[in-house]
């Protein structure tokens, strides 16, 4: 018996004219065609647009704006020539001030829905913003040699496509990286192994606490086959000519090794000058992509915790110690917990480098109960939560059972923050304040923070 092949329904080829009523949480214009909801990329509320279908779903369709007939007052001209095709940004056509207001509205709407009531009595924190362009210090760039294009392409993927955007600059990558996209394309086009390099991991470190100081750029080159001696020499020359570091990755993360320069350490650094800290990291470690806003977030979180030397702090999902070590400069003791043994090791390393002896780091799977962990039996006065997009639902009730006086929750997903907020409120906490921070300007990514106080029994 032969299997029937599934065929996607054919997309309508004719453009359609639409009136945009509002904006979805993903930053797309909302309209209707014959009663069916459609999401329109590149459209803003109040606009009349001509759009083309890109995908059809059972309950909604997706379209892309071709032409705007009636412009919203929120619309601006994107500064990037590739904004219309590159998938790295989705909101460059929207005024930056309106972007952050939109993100704040997404958070507050999610919070209200999860709690089933208005946020009366909740302090709405002022939005945090920093540089709007050339802020991104961590990224994964795709690479591919395309003969029809006359050479290699390096950059982000196109919207609604697996193809790489044909770009020679970027307005969100730090300038030290953006200026190298075109030279990278030339380099990759000349390599013997140009067909075997699918991506570049970008990591940018700081050379001094001043953000205007020269950056330290590292590229991790993922390659699927052994590189020739000619290619290795070409990468070394490129590193020397552009004053960058080159690492090679022939397999998993544990295969990453530095090619150039020849030095003892494979660490980059970033600084938290408000706390007198220098944090070192490997180019493949997770760090926040926006240095300026990260500094402001850490300061706000620690200010809201109102720490003193009597406090015992628990930092869950601590990474390499971004909040842990800052808290240790103000609190009596701090315990950082993270799932990755490698990051736990990095946290301890950074504590020693900064002469902090009141910190401890532990590895634990925070997607399951931590009740039997030795560090969980201690008493904590304050808790920091900074989970991944999936949130902390699996442990949120156990966090509440610690009975800490205050919890500061930093989130990269307002939906899971709102869900976990409802659980904390059920468990005896009140939502004191909440607000958003623009970690990823010109994207729909919403970074947010919420503060919870234990209700006295």
User: Catalytic positions, please?
Assistant: 412
Q: Which residues make beta-bridge pairs with 50?
A: 17, 67
Place of tokens 């496509």: 161
| Phi, psi (deg, nearest 5) at residue 318 | -80, -15
For residue 44, is the peptide bond before it cis, meaning its omega torsion is within 30 degrees of 0? no
* Separation of alpha carbons 257 and 248, rounded Å: 6
Give the pair of three-digit tokens for residue 300: 């706000």
Give the pair of three-digit tokens for residue 85: 């095709």
Q: Which residues of 66-87 are buried (b: 16+ CB within 10 A; e: fewer)?
A: eebeeebebbeebebebbbbbb
Determine the Cα angle at 441 with ends 439 and 445, to 5°. Answer: 65
How many CB atoms within 10 Å of residue 333?
19
| Residue pair 247/238 in contact by the 8 Å Cβ criterion | no
* Separation of alpha carbons 139 and 180, rounded Å: 14
* Separation of alpha carbons 410 and 267, rounded Å: 26
| Residue pair 212/175 in contact by the 8 Å Cβ criterion | no
* Separation of alpha carbons 407 and 385, rounded Å: 7
With CA atoms as reference, report the closest residue to 100 among 67, 54, 132.
132
Sign of the C-alpha dihedral computed for residues 113, 118, 119 and 124 taken in this order: positive
Within 13 Å of residue 5, how many CA atoms lie on the same side as its CB?
2
Sign of the C-alpha dihedral computed for residues 15, 18, 24 and 28 taken in this order: positive
| Residue pair 395/369 in contact by the 8 Å Cβ criterion | yes
Mapping DSSP to helix (H, G, I), strand (E, B) and coil, where does residue 45 land? coil
Q: What is the DSSP letter of 120?
A: T
With CA atoms as reference, report the closest residue to 288 among 317, 248, 310.
317
Within 13 Å of residue 177, how many CA atoms lie on the same side as its CB?
30
How many CB atoms within 10 Å of residue 269?
16
Q: Which residues make beta-bridge pairs with 433?
A: 123, 451
């Amino acid at each position: 018996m032969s299997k029937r092949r599934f065929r996607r329904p054919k997309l309508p080829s004719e453009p359609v004219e639409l009136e945009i009523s509002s904006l979805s949480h993903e930053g797309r214009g909302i309209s209707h065609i014959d009663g069916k909801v459609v999401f329109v990329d590149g459209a803003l509320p109040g606009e009349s647009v001509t759009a083309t279908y890109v995908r059809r779903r059972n309950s909604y369709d997706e379209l892309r704006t071709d032409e705007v007939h009636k412009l919203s007052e929120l619309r601006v001209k994107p500064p990037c020539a590739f904004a219309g095709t590159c998938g790295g940004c989705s909101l460059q056509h929207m005024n930056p001030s309106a972007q952050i207001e939109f993100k704040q509205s997404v958070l507050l709407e999610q919070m209200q829905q999860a709690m089933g009531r208005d946020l009366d009595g909740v302090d709405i924190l002022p939005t945090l913003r920093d540089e709007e362009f050339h802020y991104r210090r961590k990224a994964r760039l795709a690479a591919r040699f395309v003969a029809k294009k006359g050479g290699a392409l390096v950059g982000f993927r196109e919207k609604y496509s697996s193809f790489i955007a044909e770009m020679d600059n970027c307005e969100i990558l730090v300038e030290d990286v953006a200026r190298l996209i075109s030279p990278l394309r030339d380099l990759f086009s000349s390599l013997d192994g140009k067909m075997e390099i699918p991506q570049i991991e970008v990591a940018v470190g700081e050379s001094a606490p001043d953000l205007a100081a020269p950056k330290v750029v590292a590229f991790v080159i993922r390659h699927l086959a052994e590189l020739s001696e000619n290619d290795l020499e070409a990468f070394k020359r490129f590193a020397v000519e552009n004053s960058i570091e080159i690492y090679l990755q022939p397999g998993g993360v544990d295969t990453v090794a530095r090619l150039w320069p020849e030095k003892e350490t494979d660490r980059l650094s970033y600084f938290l000058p408000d706390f007198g800290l220098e944090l070192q990291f490997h180019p493949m470690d997770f760090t926040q992509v926006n240095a300026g806003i990260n500094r402001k977030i850490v300061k706000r979180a620690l200010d809201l915790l109102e720490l003193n030397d009597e406090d015992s702090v628990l930092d869950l999902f601590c990474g390499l110690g971004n909040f842990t070590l800052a808290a240790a400069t103000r609190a009596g003791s701090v315990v950082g917990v993270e799932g990755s043994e490698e990051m736990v090791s990095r946290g301890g390393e950074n504590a020693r480098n900064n002469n902090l002896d009141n910190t401890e780091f532990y590895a634990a799977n925070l997607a399951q109960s931590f009740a039997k962990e030795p560090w969980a039996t201690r008493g904590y006065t304050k808790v920091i939560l900074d989970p991944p997009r999936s949130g902390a639902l699996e442990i949120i009730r156990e966090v509440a059972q610690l009975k800490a006086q205050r919890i500061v929750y930093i989130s990269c997903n307002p939906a899971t923050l709102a869900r976990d907020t409802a659980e904390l409120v059920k468990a005896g906490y009140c939502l004191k304040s909440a607000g958003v921070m623009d970690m990823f300007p010109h994207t729909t990514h919403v970074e947010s923070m919420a503060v919870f106080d234990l209700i006295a029994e």
